[in-house]
Structure 1
Amino acid sequence: MISSLLLLPLFVTPALPQEAPVVHWLQNQGAAHPTAKELVTELGQRGAKGLLDLERALGARITHPAWERTLNGLPQQAVLRMQTTPSAELRIFGMLAAHRHGNAECLGALVQLSKLPDTTALPQRQQTGARLADALAAIFRRDHQALPKLNWNTIPREHLPPLADRLGGLADPRAFEALIRLMDGETGLEQAALSAIAHLARTISLQPADAELRRVRYRLEHPAFSLRMLACQALGLLHDEESAHLLQERLSDPSSSVRSAAHTALKRITGLRLHAGPKAWLSWIREQDNWWNERSSKVLSALPLARGAERTALLRELAGARLHRRALTRELLSLLDQSQGESLRLLLSAIVALDSPQALPAITLLLSHPEREVRTAANQALYALRGSRTSTPDSRDAL
């Protein structure tokens, strides 16, 4: 069967010289489907080039379902063969197979390939770490169930920094959780993890838990200035309002890089353009704290009954509470289920004024509210918060 499939394309386009041995071997299989063990035995001896030749020989048919078991089994077969006849070429062969075709089922074999005894020089061992990171990232993109299945404790520590770097490019919120786990005290690894967190936060909207944010804030006090700087950058991109006090202290940091990163983070979090002097920021933060302690509860209690100019003034006051937006949003979201009609629409206006993305899931649920006016208000709130309109048939008509 395989030979008949191969003959037509080879008749139209003659095989390149490096393809010929692979094509000949496949044709000799007759109707039998080659196993991963057979592929590794016959082609693995030719190094990583064997898989490349296999792909050239098969062309698009390499993605045929009949090949999935064989291709996904290549890393494990490479592991078994490495235990008896270890070679750098065979390791590369197995990792390349996982990179190009693997799914969650071959994660263990891929990691094991990176752990088998390696007597090569340091640059080659570093290449092994890079290949492992590239292969895992490719699998994570191909198989969305793979990331939570990886046992991080099995990965050699020397291979974790390049893997952290690749996680930052996944555009997957679960990568953030993995990066937080990688922050375990080793400076080089934490630098890679914080840098990846910053990159991830630039790419997608993240809603970290308080415990996760605390682990990043803790690095603001680290002896290494590079970690303090990266922590400032990450917290700014994560819009962590509760870190404002700590960031203000970093404005007096001995390192100019840390001071600059802290200032940029504060501007990003608050939307203000105060100069980099720590006194100006400290004064503003104290004003915000005083408002929270003395005025926030009064504003929240007065808002549902306010009308006209009074309501506008209260909404403006809420919008100015830049340092406690998350807490205020939580308070307002807790009132959504208890409100209806005009009161509900007013709450949505207040949430929009706070401009907090944590409200998006709750507002999205209101798109199925029985009242058309509420659906319209929810649609407008979503548009204001994320800049793209999510519409229902009724809300489209109403806008």
Structure 2
Amino acid sequence: MALRSHAMASERRRRPRSTWVRSSAAALALFAWLGAAPSLSRAAAHAPRDVESKVVALVLEVDSDRTAKDAARRMKRLGLDAIPSLFALLSTGSGTGAERIEMTPEREDAVRGGLLAQGAANLRSFLRVTALPESPAPVRKTALSLYEAMGGAGDLKRCIALGAGDGTGALGNELQTCATAMLRRDPRGYTGLVPDLAREVPALFPFLIEAVGDAGSPLGLRFLGKVLAQGSDHDASVLRQIERIAREARSPFAVELCDAVRDALGRDDPVAEAAARAAGALADATCVEPLCDMLGTRSARVRSTAHRALKRISGQSFGSKRERWKSWHEGELDWWREESDAVLADLACDEPARIAVAMGQIVRRRLFRDRLIGAILPLLGHPEPRIRRLACQGLGQLGSTAALPSLVDQLTDVDDSVVREAAAALRSLSGKNLPPDPETWRAFLEEQDGHPVRR
């Protein structure tokens, strides 16, 4: 079937038959688009007669990455009139008839570049009426690849519908890649992810879970936590994505998320193992007791995972005996019950010697470190530089990334020795060897928090 607009239909007499539309369904969709997009339809009416021939000629010239980039630039100059031809060529993978085109990777890159060069707004207008959930799979697959390159938060729902298509989930991998790119580009897309998608698009839901993990932003933890709290057949996968994100994210984490992970520790072995990994990544103190219990009651593999999680949370290197870990855990809880009030009171006194002794006790603690950080933070504003230095050292030794923003602020301290201690603590906690520049560190924290999402 010829690929041209209704406005160009009268000009067919001497024009070559289109060589890149393989299915009548795709052609009809493209014609529907031209009727539904007046601005682009008007452009087509005034287009050169040989716009399709020019597209073919440009594609045939491509034989390398360099010529692909040049062809994409020249395709852009063809204007909006070239969009249907380029899209059809990309979605079919080759031409048909006398001028059959072999679509090499370089040629595909050229055609995709030519499409993207027409602008995201124009491509959205085209795709809105061309690529529909009921469209053939090649059309939906091509649309997803374009949304991957230019889509934003407002496009995610549409992409999910395109991926769902015939309900088989055949385009799951394409949707996963597309959603990952869109979430990285525009974190507002996380608002479109809700647990109800497990019921609405069951075949695609596992791919969306993986996309959240691939995107790597802490913003995805809220969605994953809600899914886990509701419970589903995908809980082991959800927990794996929580672990992936939490290992690089900054604490503290939401109570609801930690509660859901702790509850999952009591599930069957595959889920319990994934939950133990997630608990270790979250460094959640409330998970220590059930992790200790798992050392004596579960399979060897789950016991090993629980042991590693305990070592990560505690910073201790005890063996795998449950009794040893329970003894340590009780000692930590005893400190909180019996000694913490007096130690924290000393931390808030005006005597540097007592403050130093209290700090020495605090940095040995490993449970509920975020609470201890809250007690140390006021010391960063102490009039004595030596106390501010001590506070920076203590925050670094506690090992919780919750202290990072306050340490970044301390890089502007008037005392150079305090700045050096703050920078050392930042490097220790983050694993990054960045210069002691506040703006550089703030940019790092913004990426870590998902604004924009860390790559």
What's the TM-score, normalizing by structure 1?
Answer: 0.77
**Shift of the alpha carbon at 1:281?**
0.9
How far the C-alpha of 1:11 sits from its partner, in A, is: 7.6
**Superposed counterparts of 1:17-166, under 5 Å:** 33-34=80-81, 43=89, 47=92, 55-58=108-111, 60-64=113-117, 66-80=118-132, 83=134, 86-118=135-167, 125-141=168-184, 143-152=185-194, 153=196, 156-166=201-211
Which AA in structure 2 matches 1:321? Answer: R
Alignment partner, residue 121 of structure 1? none
Higher helix share: 1
Who is 1:347 aligned against?
A: 391
Deviation sequence 1:82-131 (CA, Å, 0-9, x none): 55xx433333333333234433342232122234444xxxxxx2322332
Cα distance in 1 between the residues matched to 2:148 and 2:75 = 28
Which of 1 and 2 has higher RCO (CA within 8 Å, sep 6+)? Answer: 2
Contact 2:216 2:245 in 1 (8 A): yes
**Amino acid of the structure 1 residue aligned with 2:61:** P
Whether 1:287 aligns to 2:334 is no
Does the 8 Å CA contact 1:348/1:378 hold for their aligned counterparts?
yes
Question: Which residue of structure 2 lines up, in the alignment, with residue 19 of structure 1?
Answer: none
Tell me, yes or no, if the aligned pair for 1:217 and 1:231 is still in contact at 8 Å. yes
* Larger deviation, residues 279-288 vs 381-390: 381-390
- Taking the TM superposition and a 5 Å limit, the aligned residue runs for 1:189-228 are 189-222=234-267, 224-228=268-272
2:429 is the alignment partner of 1:382: no
Say which SS state the counterpart of residue 234 (structure 2) adopts.
Answer: helix
Measured on the aligned residues, the alpha-carbon RMSD in Å equals 3.7
Q: Does the 8 Å CA contact 1:315/1:353 hold for their aligned counterparts? A: no
Residues in 2 aligned to 1:8 and 1:90: alpha-carbon distance in whole angstroms: 19
**For residues 75 and 278 of structure 2, what CA distance do their matches in structure 1 show?**
57
Aligned length: 367
Q: What's 2:376 paired with?
A: 332
- Whether 1:235 and 2:287 are equivalent positions in the alignment is no
Cα distance in 1 between the residues matched to 2:294 and 2:76 = 68
Amino acid at match of 1:253: T
Distance 1:94 1:177 in 2: 29
* 1:233 CA displacement: 0.6
Structure-to-structure mapping, 1:355-366, within 5 angstroms: 355-366=399-410
Residue aligning to 1:317: 361
What is the aligned counterpart of 1:255 among 299, 304, 309? Answer: 299
Residue of structure 2 in register with 1:21 after alignment: none
Letter in 1 for 2:120: E
CA contact 1:383–1:390 (8 Å) conserved in 2: no
State whether residues 251 and 401 of structure 2, in contact with CA within 8 Å, keep that contact through their aligned partners in structure 1: no
- Please tell me whether the aligned partners of residues 161 and 188 of structure 1 are also in contact (alpha carbons under 8 angstroms): no
Give the Cα separation in 1 of the matches to 2:278 and 2:381.
Answer: 34
Shift of 1:179: 1.9
Q: CA deviation at 1:341?
A: 3.3
Deviation string, structure 1 residues 171-227 (Cα, Å, up to 9, x no partner): 3221222322322444432111101111223444454122221111111122x2211
What fraction of aligned residue pairs are identical, expressed as a percent? 22
Name structure 2 gaps, 5 residues minimum. 1-46, 64-73, 96-102, 439-455
**Secondary structure at 2:297 match in 1:** coil
Q: Which amino acid aligns with 2:203?
A: E
Compared with structure 1, are the counterparts of its residues 207 and 75 closer, same or farther at alpha carbon in structure 2 (3 Å cutoff)?
A: farther
Query: Aligned pair in 2 of structure 1 residues 127, 181: CA closer, same or farther (>3 Å)?
Result: same
Q: Please give the alpha-carbon distance, in whole angstroms, between the structure 2 residues aligned to 1:249 and 1:29.
A: 64
Contact 1:140/1:146, CA 8 A, preserved across alignment? yes
Relative to structure 1, is the Cα distance of residues 253 and 306 closer, same or farther in structure 2, using a 3 angstrom cutoff?
A: farther
How far off its partner does 1:36 sit? 5.8
Q: Shift of the alpha carbon at 1:39?
A: 6.0
Matches of 1:183 and 1:206, distance apart in 2: 19
1:59/1:353 CA distance change after superposition, 3 Å? closer
What SS does the corresponding residue of 2:81 show, helix, strand or coil? Answer: coil
Q: Tell me, in whole angstroms, the C-alpha distance in 1 between the residues paired with 2:112 and 2:174.
A: 24
SS in 1 for 2:318: coil
Q: Is the 8 A contact 1:75 1:97 kept in 2?
A: no
Instruction: Give the 3-state SS of the residue equivalent to 1:158 in structure 2.
Output: coil
What whole-Å deviation, never above 9, does each CA across 1:54-99 have from its counterpart, x for those lacking one? 74554754442x333343345423444x55xx43333333333323
Q: Name 1:23's counterpart in structure 2.
A: none
CA pair 299-34 structure 1, distance change in 2 beyond 3 A? same
Question: Aligned partners of 1:88, 1:58: CA distance in 2, in Å?
Answer: 19
| 2:56 maps to 1:14 | no
Retained in 2: the 8 A contact 1:78–1:93?
no
* Contact in 2 for aligned 1:37/1:77 (Cα 8 Å): no
Stretches of structure 1 that go unaligned for 5 or more consecutive residues are 17-26, 119-124, 394-399
Q: Distance in 2 between matches of 1:28 and 1:352?
A: 55
Match of 2:98 in 1: none
